[in-house]
Amino acid sequence: MPTSKDVAQAAGVAQSTVSYVLSGKRPISEKTRKKVEDAIQQLTYQPNAGARALASRKTRVIGLVIPFIPELHMASIMEFVSVIANTARIYDHDILLVTEDEGAPGLKRVVGQQICDGLILMQVEGDDERLPVVRSLNVPVVLIGIPHDPSGLVCIDADFEMAGEQCVQDLAAAGHSVISVIGWQPEVVERHVNYVERFMSGTDKAAQDSGVRVLHLPGGTDRDVIAASVDKALAETTGVPAFIAPDGTVQDVLRRVLNSRGLTPGVDVSVIGSASPTLAELQPIPLSTIDLRPAEVSRRAVKIICDLLEAENQGPRESLELVPTVITHRSSTLRPPHGS
Amino acid sequence: MPTSKDVAQAAGVAQSTVSYVLSGKRPISEKTRKKVEDAIQQLTYQPNAGARALASRKTRVIGLVIPFIPELHMASIMEFVSVIANTARIYDHDILLVTEDEGAPGLKRVVGQQICDGLILMQVEGDDERLPVVRSLNVPVVLIGIPHDPSGLVCIDADFEMAGEQCVQDLAAAGHSVISVIGWQPEVVERHVNYVERFMSGTDKAAQDSGVRVLHLPGGTDRDVIAASVDKALAETTGVPAFIAPDGTVQDVLRRVLNSRGLTPGVDVSVIGSASPTLAELQPIPLSTIDLRPAEVSRRAVKIICDLLEAENQGPRESLELVPTVITHRSSTLRPPHGS
DNA sequence: ACGCATCGTCGATACGCATCGATAAATCGA
DNA sequence: TCGATTTATCGATGCGTATCGACGATGCGT
């Protein structure tokens, strides 16, 4: 592997000149710049990351802490990961995977060894055990998810409260007077209390404003649980029933249960789920969805941390950013009686 | 951040001694070892990865090239990623994410900058455009997937041929005389020809041996396509129909189509799909599955590359490893008339 | 008691780059 | 035309670790 010294020799300049050509931190004459750039080309020189990190004290690597919980919707996690990796490249950074299995010590490790300059944590829980460590770390950390106490932390997430409001407002406008929320799996509810709570607070707020009733019923992937929830909802509903299934894993089961009860979404029942547009279109009856904007959340998370890395004026930051959600009508919900 | 020099000072030894305590490459007396280890503890010293990489010419990082194709089963990709990351930690390595978007230049970049010591490529296509680059790279690369020409490459994958054989043998033993394979999505077939071919070669081989007929029909997520395939299969079948859906994304659609045709898996039709055991059990009718062992493939891929990194006796390796698949009976297939 | 091998430790150096101070060359004003 | 600036480049140094050669101390056999 050629080094910057080799390049310097080939171009007939000093090694430091090569470095300045690359970084642009000092003026270089057009003539020598060209000589250097040609030499770089011919030698296919690429700077050594280790040496660069050692000298500059910057690795240009961001650690991404990923969850792997079977209860979660893995496809959506993957979308986060993918978008985060691609966005990082735009800012000329790379992504190092840190598994949740490593827990808090894992964070200390990658930061302590200076393998990366900062961290993005996915799937942050309301009372996440890693928060004390995060606060003690002297590098920028961005949390995807809002913990109960976000003080001293930099957080970003979809606006779940807005999502809840949108769903209920929408269904209320379509004429439903009782709206049932088939919630997340118990495991998720216990762990990630925060976004569940935010969603519910949104639905309840909208319910008050619109004068409709919202039922919160247990979700999950267990067909029996969903079936019980559906039956309870049907029993309590006057008029056309409406369901909100904010968890991607719940939808399939819900669809089947409704089917077995002889109910057709968009005809004699309304259903709003959460899924990507492409997935929503693939359903037998295209699903009206509440889009939680995973790609946008990912992009912003990367932007935030890269800005922090650039700024670097140390002081412990604190910020909280909520990404607006988007509701999209497809065929699984009733159309409002008149107007939008 | 404390350095090994600080540790040395605190322990009253030379920096090199600290290094030898850590690496164990020279004998150290029990006494000084303890002094050094205590100092490390008290300073919470962690070696600097950049300096280490620079001096040792090893980063202890493996690049993982991940695909992100909506047509693919993202949940299963995520399982690969997760298991690979965790296994790498066992070998004291970390995983750097490289997106498929970066293409071949991306591989050159991470290897050229010496950000990582080796690569794992997922979802390798039969005629992958990256193969020339891979061959030219002077670092170990492990491919998950078998390209058409695997010469000079290190490959590992599930044994799709075995999987095909197992499915057909199994269904033949259960008394089916015509077996329909609802294949992958056209996009996948075009791209990843190899494993599709291998699977089919397995089914055909078993068909010959067992004297049954195998139909290869188009798959995908398009309900109409699947419906057409099913109807064609039903028309061509005498006796109880049997379906094999080796692509995870096809199953849901297939299930619905069969349902709409009044067919119940395990009663008047047999279905073998590919899904994780947990997912298979969650189906309304527990799905008999062919397990393509993603976790085992991942583990072995990491082991292979770590072995190569350790060996390091340069010479271009070549190997091909196939992981045996496992077929599991659940309720979606007919039981064989007598005995297993 | 003496030389010799072994063990444990030290000091020096290299890894490849970024960066700082210094210097030579070019530019300008008067 | 000469000194004062500015511009472009060089040389030297440090980043933190791994590793090699050297060296003193210890134990051994005879």
The answer to whether residue B53 sits within a structural domain is no
Q: How far is CA A273 from the centre of its chain?
A: 18
Q: How far is B51 from chain A (nearest CA, A)?
A: 6
The answer to whether the CB of A63 falls within 8 A of the CB of A115 is: yes
Q: What is the pLDDT of residue A69?
A: 76
Which residues of the protein have their beta carbon within 7 Å of strand C? A 1, 3-5, 15-16, 19-20, 22-23, 25, 45, 47-48, 51-52, 54-56; B 12-17, 20, 26-29, 31-33, 51, 54-55
Contacts A115 to B, Cβ<8 Å: 49, 61, 94
Strand D contact with B312 (CB < 7 A): no
Q: Is A145 left (phi over 0), alpha (psi -120 to 50) or beta?
A: left
Q: What is the pLDDT of residue B253?
A: 81
Taking residues B77-98, what's their average pLDDT? 96
What token pair was written down for A150?
Answer: 């976000």
- Number of residues written out for chain A: 340
Could you say which of B52, B101, B114 has the minimum Cβ distance to residue A49?
B114
DSSP state of B309: H
Distance B29 CA to D30 C1' (A): 29
pLDDT tens-digit profile of A152-183? 999 999 999 999 999 999 999 999 999 999 98
The answer to whether the CB of B94 falls within 8 A of the CB of B62 is: yes
The answer to whether the CB of B89 falls within 8 A of the CB of B62 is: no
Query: Percent of chain A scored above 90 by pLDDT?
Result: 72
Could you say which of A94, A112, A284 has the minimum Cβ distance to residue B46?
A112
- Residues A192 and A112 both lie in one domain: no
Strand D contact with B9 (CB < 7 A): no
- Residues B170 and B238 both lie in one domain: yes
Per the DSSP assignment, residues forming a β-bridge with A319 are A154
The answer to whether residue A333 sits within a structural domain is no
Confidence of residue A125 (pLDDT cuts 50, 70, 90): confident
What token pair was written down for B172?
Answer: 């033949």
d(CA A262, CA B221): 25
Q: What is the pLDDT of residue B315?
A: 65
Confidence of residue B339 (pLDDT cuts 50, 70, 90): very low
The answer to whether residue A55 sits within a structural domain is no
| B141, pLDDT greater than 90 | yes
Chain C positions under 7 Å from a protein CB? 7-12, 14-21
The answer to whether residue B335 sits within a structural domain is no
Which nucleotide across the nucleic acid strands is nearest to A55, CA versus C1'?
A: D15
Pairing of strands B94-99, A94-99: antiparallel
d(CA B76, CA A259): 28
pLDDT tens-digit profile of B5-51? 999 999 999 999 999 999 999 999 999 999 999 999 999 999 999 99
Distance A57 CA to D30 C1' (A): 60
- Residues A182 and A274 both lie in one domain: yes
DSSP state of A265: B
Pairing of strands B270-273, B213-217: unpaired
Q: Closest residue by Cα to the C1' atom of nucleotide C14?
A: B55
- Residues B263 and B312 both lie in one domain: no
- Residues B167 and B269 both lie in one domain: yes
Contacts B139 to A, Cβ<8 Å: none
The answer to whether residue B185 sits within a structural domain is yes
Q: How far is B25 from chain A (nearest CA, A)?
A: 21
Q: What is the 3-state secondary structure (H, E, C) of B157-216?
A: EECHHHHHHHHHHHHHHCCCCEEEEECCCHHHHHHCHHHHHHHHHHHHHHHHHHCCEEEE
- Residues B153 and B298 both lie in one domain: yes
Chain D positions under 7 Å from a protein CB? 7-12, 14-21
Q: What is the residue range of B75's domain?
A: 61-158+294-325
What token pair was written down for B23?
Answer: 């690496």
Amino acid A79 reads E
| A108, pLDDT greater than 90 | yes
Mean pLDDT, chain B, rounded, equals 90
The answer to whether residue B52 sits within a structural domain is no
The answer to whether residue B143 sits within a structural domain is yes
Number of domains into which chain B is organized: 3
Taking residues A21-48, what's their average pLDDT? 93
**C-beta atoms of A284 and B256 within 8 A:** yes
- Residues B128 and B8 both lie in one domain: no
Question: In A15-96, which ranges are continuous DSSP H helix?
Answer: 15-23, 30-43, 49-56, 74-90
- Residues B299 and B238 both lie in one domain: no
Taking residues B93-106, what's their average pLDDT? 96
**C-beta atoms of B115 and A95 within 8 A:** no
Contacts B103 to A, Cβ<8 Å: none
**C-beta atoms of B74 and A79 within 8 A:** yes
- Residues B267 and B280 both lie in one domain: yes
Largest CA distance in chain A: 85
Q: What is the pLDDT of residue A193?
A: 67
The answer to whether residue B233 sits within a structural domain is yes
Taking residues A55-66, what's their average pLDDT? 97
d(CA B171, CA B239): 12
**C-beta atoms of B1 and A223 within 8 A:** no
Q: Which domain CATH number covers A41?
A: 1.10.260.40
d(CA A84, CA A78): 10
Q: Which domain CATH number covers B150?
A: 3.40.50.2300
Contacts B110 to A, Cβ<8 Å: 94
- Residues B182 and B267 both lie in one domain: yes
Q: How far is B228 from chain A (nearest CA, A)?
A: 16
- Residues B116 and B172 both lie in one domain: no
Q: What is the pLDDT of residue B250?
A: 81
Q: How far is A87 from chain B (nearest CA, A)?
A: 10
The answer to whether the CB of B181 falls within 8 A of the CB of B165 is: no
- Residues B231 and B318 both lie in one domain: no
The answer to whether the CB of B217 falls within 8 A of the CB of B182 is: yes
pLDDT tens-digit profile of B225-263? 889 999 999 999 988 999 999 887 788 788 888 988 989
Confidence of residue B340 (pLDDT cuts 50, 70, 90): very low
CA torsion A204-A210-A212-A215 (nearest 10°) is: -20
d(CA A137, CA A126): 19
Q: What is the pLDDT of residue B192?
A: 64
Q: Which of A138-147, A186-195, B61-70, B327-336 has the lowest mean pLDDT?
A: A186-195
